[in-house]
Copies of this chain bind each other. A is one copy, B any other.
Amino acid sequence: MNLAEKVAQMVVVRASGHLFDNQILYPDWEPPNSKLQYWVQELGVGGVIFVGGSAVDLATRIQQLQSWAKIPLLLAADIEEGVGQRFAGATWFPPPMAIAAIAQTNLKKAQGYAETMGAITAQEAVAIGLNWILAPVVDVNNNPDNPVINIRAFGETTELVCQLARAFIRGAQQYAVLTTAKHFPGHGDTAVDSHFDLPVIPHSDRRLAEVELPPFFEAIAAGVDSVMSAHLLIPVWDGELPATLSHKIITGRLRQKLGFDGLVVTDALVMGAIANRYGLAEASVLAVEAGADILLMPLDAEVTINSVCDAVSQGRISESRIDESLQRIWQAKTKVYPTWEPGNEKIPDYFSPPTYNLVEKLAQSQAQETVAQILQDSIQVGGGYLTPKNRDDNHLRNLVLVQDILNTPFLGNHTPAIAIPKKYGYQLQLIDNYSEALQTFTSHRLTLLQLFIRGNPFGQSASLTQAGEDLVKKLLRSGELQGLIIYGSQYTLKQFSSELLSEIPYIFCYGQMPKAQAIALELLFKDLQVSL
């Protein structure tokens, strides 16, 4: 292999999980087929990370990519809440924070759930052809305003995150798939989303050692295959460079102090915290200098490969540094492709079974039962149930408030949050957090309010906008509110806990998926079932 081929193996590009160019949802970030094929077949990039598409779409997409690749690919996705979180058809788990909530009263049970979640996620990932789970999140979410980690974390305390992340990894290890502890050295205590700007962690060495680092120790001890670096500035360790680009942090702390010898992967190089400050070419070189093995999601694979190759020929990076990373990549690939050997360019036919066989492998009954149990064990209910009396009104309204009205994979005319109230005579009004309609809201109708609000990468906010919060409070005080369901973040519930009157039924549920809606609405409408 020449230098460019070796460096290409260090690059994992982003692609749509859909097969056709006309289905690309993020045209600024996802290459069309012609470019993707060039990257995989000609440049020989090491892997691909996917967003979008159904489970069947993705399985097909992966077969296509494997048919292009000379060396089998690392195939990754942010499936922190199960394969179904990203790829419809597979199992969609509640967010890790739901399991943390269960752990407050029953740690053993919660560990069991985390392990099962890891195992099912791994089993389903392997079934559709993924071999790299970009999970578990091992950040300790000790900042309720954290817009990007939030309920993606396995808890608000170090202890809990250690216990549950370890269980998740143990579960996943039953299958030939890579796991990832992220985001090193800990993204839990920020109020800035690094997708937009660079957060600063002002903590002391001691505090980091006590709070943020133990989950990484735990994950490494449990045999996690990779660690993802965070785009965070940690002045106490490096006053200049963010963790992703810092030799002091990646090599000094992660490799040497923590003794991690697996794959180090950067967080996405396309993210604002890095891309806006350093540019792709320099960021790629700095990340390799820092000690990264995998450069994730550069906007242009060719720029990354060329800039790293140039840095080698200029003597800024040694070729042995590249070879070290390549060795780790070979190690990872031999783990997930046990019949493949480095140097052997032929890929066995990994995907001979037709994709329809997935129907026997995804979303099986044990998986669905586990999802339902986690939801049921973590749900919070207050204020009683709706009674038939409440229904004596012709103007019942089902007000559904979401974060982004054009991105609601959890909602459709058939999903319980829409279909069940409709059956009971409620008229739907669907608006989003940023809608003008929030301000002009005047009509007086008995209202069932359902909030789908949670912290998400790129979500802009962990919770409601001010206008959204004002609307909820107005409804709470007006006597119009008949019931409230919050799907997502317990921090949203806390925003209103002082306002929640004992006579208004409310439900809080960590999940937003249809199963969560079914469980919540069944509880809320409990006393109405007979009368329907």
Whether B356 lies near A89 (C-beta < 8 A) is no
Using a CB-CB cutoff of 8 Å, which residues 29-69 of chain A contact chain B? 33, 53-57, 60-61, 63-64, 67
- A333 on the B face (CB < 8 A): no
Which residues of chain B come closer than 8 Å to A429, judged between CB atoms? 435-437
- Of chain B, the residue at the smallest CB distance from A429 is B436
- A263 on the B face (CB < 8 A): no
Q: How far is the CB of A270 from chain B (nearest CB, A)?
A: 16
Whether B25 lies near A414 (C-beta < 8 A) is yes
Whether A89 lies near B20 (C-beta < 8 A) is yes
- A339 on the B face (CB < 8 A): no
Whether A56 lies near B55 (C-beta < 8 A) is no
- A187 on the B face (CB < 8 A): no
- A205 on the B face (CB < 8 A): no
Known pairs A20-B362, A60-B56, A437-B431; A412 contacts B406 (CB<8 A): yes
Using a CB-CB cutoff of 8 Å, which residues 262-319 of chain A contact chain B? none
Which residues of chain B come closer than 8 Å to A405, judged between CB atoms? 405, 430
- A239 on the B face (CB < 8 A): no
Assembly CA distance A442 to B440 (angstroms): 7
- A19 on the B face (CB < 8 A): yes
Known pairs A414-B25, A429-B435; A19 contacts B356 (CB<8 A): yes
- A424 on the B face (CB < 8 A): no
Known pairs A20-B363, A23-B88, A57-B54; A418 contacts B406 (CB<8 A): yes
- Of chain B, the residue at the smallest CB distance from A515 is B22
Q: How far is the CB of A208 from chain B (nearest CB, A)?
A: 37
- A195 on the B face (CB < 8 A): no
- Of chain B, the residue at the smallest CB distance from A53 is B54
Which of B18, B23, B56, B434 interacts with A19 by CB under 8 Å? B56
Which residues of chain B come closer than 8 Å to A496, judged between CB atoms? none
**Chain A 421-447 against B: per-residue CB contact (8 Å), 1 yes, 0 no?**
000000101111011110111110000
Which residues of chain B come closer than 8 Å to A355, judged between CB atoms? 19, 60, 63, 355
Whether A406 lies near B430 (C-beta < 8 A) is yes
- A76 on the B face (CB < 8 A): no
Which residues of chain B come closer than 8 Å to A20, judged between CB atoms? 55, 88-90, 359, 362-363
- A354 on the B face (CB < 8 A): yes
Copies in the complex: 2
Q: How far is the CB of A114 from chain B (nearest CB, A)?
A: 22
Assembly CA distance A409 to B24 (angstroms): 13
Q: How far is the CB of A359 from chain B (nearest CB, A)?
A: 6
Which of B27, B63, B358 interacts with A354 by CB under 8 Å? B63
Known pairs A55-B20, A355-B60, A363-B20; A26 contacts B414 (CB<8 A): yes
Known pairs A23-B88, A57-B57; A63 contacts B356 (CB<8 A): yes
Which residues of chain B come closer than 8 Å to A57, judged between CB atoms? 54, 56-57
Whether A358 lies near B19 (C-beta < 8 A) is yes
- Of chain B, the residue at the smallest CB distance from A358 is B19
Assembly CA distance A432 to B405 (angstroms): 12
Whether A60 lies near B430 (C-beta < 8 A) is no
- A366 on the B face (CB < 8 A): no
**Chain A 337-367 against B: per-residue CB contact (8 Å), 1 yes, 0 no?**
0000000000000010011101100110000
Which residues of chain B come closer than 8 Å to A7, judged between CB atoms? none
Q: How far is the CB of A442 from chain B (nearest CB, A)?
A: 5
Which of B356, B440, B443 interacts with A441 by CB under 8 Å? B440
Known pairs A54-B57, A358-B19; A414 contacts B363 (CB<8 A): no
- A324 on the B face (CB < 8 A): no
Which residues of chain B come closer than 8 Å to A63, judged between CB atoms? 354-356
Whether A359 lies near B33 (C-beta < 8 A) is yes
**Chain A 1-31 against B: per-residue CB contact (8 Å), 1 yes, 0 no?**
0000000000000000011111111110000
Which of B24, B56, B61, B411 interacts with A414 by CB under 8 Å? B24
Assembly CA distance A60 to B53 (angstroms): 14
- A413 on the B face (CB < 8 A): yes
Whether A413 lies near B418 (C-beta < 8 A) is no
Assembly CA distance A429 to B435 (angstroms): 6
Which residues of chain B come closer than 8 Å to A531, judged between CB atoms? none
Assembly CA distance A354 to B26 (angstroms): 26
**Chain A 312-338 against B: per-residue CB contact (8 Å), 1 yes, 0 no?**
000000000000000000000000000
Which residues of chain B come closer than 8 Å to A514, judged between CB atoms? 22
- Of chain B, the residue at the smallest CB distance from A30 is B414
- A105 on the B face (CB < 8 A): no
- Of chain B, the residue at the smallest CB distance from A92 is B22
Given contacts A54-B57, A407-B412, 13 further A-B contacts (CB under 8 A): A20-B88, A20-B359, A21-B363, A53-B54, A54-B56, A60-B60, A60-B355, A351-B354, A406-B411, A429-B436, A437-B440, A439-B443, A440-B442
The 9 A-B residue pairs whose C-beta atoms are closest, nearest first, are A64-B356, A20-B89, A437-B437, A60-B355, A440-B440, A56-B60, A406-B413, A60-B356, A56-B57
A–B Cβ pairs within 8 angstroms, 10 of them: A19-B356, A20-B363, A22-B363, A60-B354, A406-B430, A407-B412, A407-B413, A429-B435, A440-B441, A440-B442
